[in-house]
Chains A and B, each alone.
Chain A
Amino acid sequence: MIGAGFSLTLASAQGGDEIAFACLFRDVQPALLRYLHVITPEAEDVAGETWLQVVKGLPGFRGGEEAFRAWLFTIARHRAVDAGRFRSRRPDVPLATETLEQQTTPDAAELALEAISTRSVVALIKSLPRDQAEIIMLRVVAGLDAADVARIVGKTPGAVRVTAHRALRRLADLAERAGVTH
């Protein structure tokens, strides 16, 4: 999170300052990519399409840092849905390796050998049900509040809170069994 300097950075980027735009990119891109790794196998491609749309809509954006993140992750989710539809129309395309990993629970022994890295945690979260994994990523990684997440995923804030709690309990169970946190 950029914090207090976000408004100035955003205004500079809207005025065409490439350095300011790079600051926005470096601040949001890691969380965006991790979120997309959870919800789509084409994370890098969808991230690129998301940023292209952000570039187009940036001059007209109005709001603070949380609103900017909510806007960006909304775009990313739409692009991921589009990518999923495109993938479903072409069933002859072989599934990516990450898709196969998503369908199986991570190997506990393999995860135990790894340290607490971002990739291992992302792989663990991908083993959760889709809605739980997405809400955890949006709430914890993207830093959005329950209302923004509810708007993005199409649920009520109360449902988002309950789903997030349920996901965290299940994640703690998986992590203990896998030994990731030890």
Chain B
Amino acid sequence: MPGFPFPGRPGGEHDEPLLDMIIARRALPPDAPEPMHDLARMLAALAGPAEPGELAGEAAVRAAFSRAASPVGISPAAWRLGRRRRPARYRARLATALIVVAAGLGSVLAAYTDVLPGPVQQLAHVTVAAPAPPSPARHSRRASRGWSATPRPSSSPASGPAPSTAQAQPAGRGESPKPSYKPLLSGSAGRHPTGVACGVIPQRWPSPPPKASAHPSPPWWSEGEKCTGIPSGPKAAPTLDPYVPLPGSGPRGGRA
């Protein structure tokens, strides 16, 4: 190494072990050249403790650390969540998928609760085995009574079957019930369906107390008769006889 000032060392390669010792901050042997000792002292001073002013930024750095050391800021999980946040396009796709799934579930639920329009309900009946669309008579009855569209359970007598004039009509009057009402009648066969219906109605849907009206109801119109549909007034008396003689016809016994 030309120009290298170490005395007695024509080449720089011989001082490499000493240079490695200086870099590693190990103590040099006493017989090392004096320039090597000087160099070691100089670098030891360079790696010395902090001098005045070198720690001036401590307050600012500690303040930044305090801000970041909040439970959210210092948590590794929070850092991972922050790094793994999905891009906007993935969030949009996820939102679209959620909306589609929610709409589908809502449609199926609406189909099973029988609130869809007739053609749509029929389609749901065919595709997802939803209940069949109600008959026009049922629709008109609902509309006239202002019921909610949700059907009430009819399997249990205690819950009270839906009152209907067709159901409450006595058998043998010449009117057969609608096909959709057959299960209702069969479930309450032999247990006085009319009486069950009348006994339940005032408890489940209590009517408001009667008010003084300028147009009072006829005196023969009572609360219990309203639900049965059986005319109990002076016009006609209920009968179980299927044969009702026409006005002007002769007595039944006369025909025999």
Contacts and interface: CB of A to CB of B under 8 A. Distances in A.
B163 to A, nearest CB: 69
> What is the interface of chain A mostly: helix, strand, loop, or mixed?
helix
A82 to B, nearest CB: 18
Interface of A: 14-16, 18, 21-22, 25-26, 29-31, 33-34, 44, 47-48, 51-52, 55-56, 59-60, 116-119, 121-122, 124-125, 136, 139-141, 143, 161, 164-165, 168-169, 171-173, 175-176, 180-182
A52 B68 CA distance: 10
Interface centre among B3, B22, B65 (most CB of A within 10 A): B65
B79 to A, nearest CB: 6
A66 B38 CA distance: 27
A141 B42 CA distance: 11
Given A51-B57, A173-B5, A121 B49 contact: no
A48 B39 contact: no
Given A30-B50, A55-B65, A59-B76, A165 B43 contact: no
B43 A121 contact: yes
Given A139-B23, A172-B38, A117 B45 contact: yes
A169 B12 contact: yes
Which 4 pairs between the two chains have the least Cβ-Cβ distance? A181-B38, A16-B69, A30-B50, A51-B61
Contacts of A33: 54
7 contacts: A25-B55, A118-B46, A161-B20, A168-B22, A175-B39, A175-B42, A181-B41
Interface residues of B, number: 44
In terms of DSSP, what is the predominant structure of the interface of chain B?
A: helix
Contacts of A25: 55, 58, 61-62
A126 to B, nearest CB: 12
B97 interface: no
B59 to A, nearest CB: 10
B46 A140 contact: yes
A59 B49 contact: no
A33 B5 CA distance: 31
Given A18-B66, A122-B46, A169-B1, A44 B57 contact: yes
